[in-house]
Amino acid sequence: MGINVRLFRASLLIIAWFTYCVAGDLVSDLKAKGIEVVGPGQSSFGSVSAPFNRRFTFQPAAVTFPKKPEEISNIIQIATKYQKHVVARSGGHSYIANGIGGQNGAIIIDVNKHFTHIQVNTQSNTAVIETGNRLGDIALALNSYGRGIGHGTCPYVGIGGHASFGGFGYASRLWGMALDAITSMNVVLANGTIVTASKTNNSELFWGMRGAGPSFGITTSITVKTFPVPPSATVFLYTWDLPAASASNVLDIYQTFSLGKVPLGFGSELLLSKGNKKGRVSVTLQGVWFGSAKTFNGVITPLLGKISQKPQTQQVQSGTYIDSVAFFGDKDGKLNTTGIPDDHSAFYVKSLLTPEGQPMTQSSQRAFMEYLANEGITSRISWFVEVEEWGGPGSIVNAVPLDETAFANRDVLFLIQFYGNTFSDEPPFPQSGFTFVDGMVESILNNNPTDWSYSAYPNYLDDRLQNWQHLYFGQHYDRLQRLKGAVDPGDMFKFPTSIEKK
């Protein structure tokens, strides 16, 4: 009898051990390590796992809120045991919900909650920015020391994703992209090791992190070099409602202007949207002049003077650097995101980076505007297109040598974003919406040379893009694949557009 009881007890223990180790309970394991976690079934799970883009719904395995890099190592070790993929979430603004995995079953490492420190060093003109910060808060913190870096306009975008794949905004021709400002970063690798990556430490990792970071590790902080903010900044907005032919002419004038000697402190875009009636397009020229207010007319006139139609509305306003960030950042002019819940949308985006050496043909500009003026009136989604001036002689974004970072496109004239969202900002996104956005891009591609060397912007992710490896990562893809094989051979950091190991 004694033996039977002991055998019975032993087998219970074995079953318990087996359940613990193999079937196990992921959430309990995380809690046992002291990690803040929300698992499926908990009441807040829906809200902590909801993506910004509601076109997607993914069910993560757990959402964690670590407080220090060592906890991230622990999460990764537990993920290894349960054979789960791990992704970080910073601002959560990935276009294809990669911040919640881009697929079901990932463990989410939310850095937005606790990795929010910003340390500005006035001696070295650098700043250490933890990766949970959003752009609005970073702009405010740096500006309070009279400093800034290049980055995009939306205050709610997180630096974690933004600086991994680019980070382009009105100041980028002057200061570069967010990723160009990085001098070193702290990273947790797939085996849980915490490393510093810089030009001198883990230099290959440092190269890859700036352009494809989320495939290689979880970044907890970046150190950036900062730039002195200009003493004055002038924001401008001019609007027209134009027939397609005239709109196409404006685009051509803008392209010719952008290819000329535009001062680097001039950041601008053409914003295109639905016209007043069929055959027309609404055109806005907008941006910031980071120079003295007195000199603004001299800078804008060579462009504005070439457009024969008088703008229907115009707004020109001079103020400080941070005023200009707030002006384009938020309708209420607020940059501090603390305590303000993020909103959401349901959208689909495509992008084009046009080659500086091969400007868009006039026939492609014409076909594009005809398409917007006709199909754009009846489309069943709301839409806009941003044609952003990226290059032109001397642009700092293009001046960075191609192989300096993993970012693969440094010979660009325009960054064009084609943005469609549902009228209600809620799903479902209609099939005809995809067709409409596809058609915008096709109208341009079909009317440029077949060897036109366009590419696409990896911060404006398109889940339906064919050949994304080449369009996002260009000639760097091979080198990125080798790095992936070296630092993450088990594909811990896997999501729909992650680098595939060699």
Ligand X SMILES: *[C@@H]1O[C@H](CO)[C@@H](O)[C@H](O)[C@H]1NC(C)=O
Ligand Y SMILES: Cc1cc2nc3c(=O)[nH]c(=O)nc-3n(C[C@H](O)[C@H](O)[C@H](O)COP(=O)(O)OP(=O)(O)OC[C@H]3O[C@@H](n4cnc5c(N)ncnc54)[C@H](O)[C@@H]3O)c2cc1C
Residues that bind ligand Y (CB under 6 A): 52, 87-95, 98-99, 111, 131, 152-154, 157-158, 160-162, 164-169, 213-214, 218-219, 459, 495
Q: Which is nearer to ligand X, 274 or 494 (CB)?
A: 494
The one-letter code for the residue type at 480 is L
Query: Does 191 participate in binding ligand X (rule CB under 6 A)?
Result: yes
Q: Does 203 bind ligand X (CB under 6 A)?
A: no
Structural contact between residues 111 and 129, judged by C-beta atoms closer than 8 angstroms: no
Could you tell which of ligand X, ligand Y, none binds residue 328, using a CB distance below 5 to 8 A set by kind? none
Residues 321-340 that bind ligand X (CB under 6 A): 336, 338-339
Contact 197, 187 (CB under 8 A): yes
Residues 91-120 that bind ligand X (CB under 6 A): none
Stretch that binds ligand X, among 9-17, 136-144, 267-275, 279-287 (CB under 6 A): 136-144
> Do 259 and 319 contact (CB within 8 A), yes or no?
no
The CB density around residue 277, as the number of other CB atoms within 10 Å, is 9
| Residue 136: C-alpha distances to residues 109, 149, 195, 221, 334 (Å) | 22, 12, 28, 17, 8
Task: Identify the DSSP state of 295.
Answer: G
244/285 with CB nearer ligand Y = 285
User: Does residue 314 interact with ligand X by CB under 6 A?
Assistant: no
CB 160 within 8 A of CB 111: yes
Determine, following the binding rule CB under 6 A, whether residue 183 of this chain makes contact with ligand X.
no
Closer to ligand Y by Cβ: residue 235 or 244: 235
Q: Which does 137 bind (CB under 5 to 8 A by kind): ligand Y, ligand X, none?
A: ligand X
Residue 377, interface with ligand X (CB under 6 A)? no
Closest distance to ligand X from the beta carbon of 421 (Å)? 29
- Tell me which of ligand X, ligand Y, none is bound by residue 66, counting a contact when its beta carbon lies within the kind-specific cut-off of 5 to 8 angstroms: none
Residues 317 and 322: their CA atoms lie apart, in Å, by 13
Other C-beta atoms within 10 Å of 308: how many?
9
Q: Are strands 147-148 and 227-228 parallel, antiparallel or unpaired?
A: antiparallel
| The binder of ligand X chosen from 340, 377, 465, 486 (CB under 6 A) | 486
- Please state the separation of Cα 492 from the chain's center in Å: 22
Instruction: For the CB of residue 323, give the shortest distance to ligand X in the complex, in Å.
Output: 15
76 contacts ligand X (rule: CB under 6 A): no
Q: Pick one of ligand Y, ligand X, none as the site partner of residue 98 (Cβ within 5 to 8 A by kind).
A: ligand Y
Q: Judged by CB under 6 A, which of 4, 44, 200, 466 binds ligand X?
A: 200
Residue in the block written with tokens 């810089």:
198
Closest contact distance (angstroms) between CB of 49 and ligand Y is 12
State the DSSP code for 248: H
With binding defined as CB under 6 A, does residue 141 bind ligand X? yes
Q: How far apart are CA 91 and CA 283, in angstroms?
A: 30
Give the one entry of ligand X, ligand Y, none that residue 213 binds, where binding means its C-beta sits below a cut-off of 5 to 8 angstroms depending on kind.
ligand Y
Q: Work out the burial of residue 348: count CB atoms within 10 Å of its CB; fewer than 13 is exposed, 13-18 middle, 19 or more buried.
A: buried
Q: Residues 101, 102, 105, CA angle at the centre, nearest 5°?
A: 50
CA terminus-to-terminus distance, the chain: 59
Q: Of ligand Y, ligand X, none, which one does residue 329 interact with (CB within 5 to 8 Å by kind)? A: none
Binding site for ligand X (CB under 6 A): 137, 140-141, 189, 191, 193, 196, 200-201, 336, 338-339, 486-487
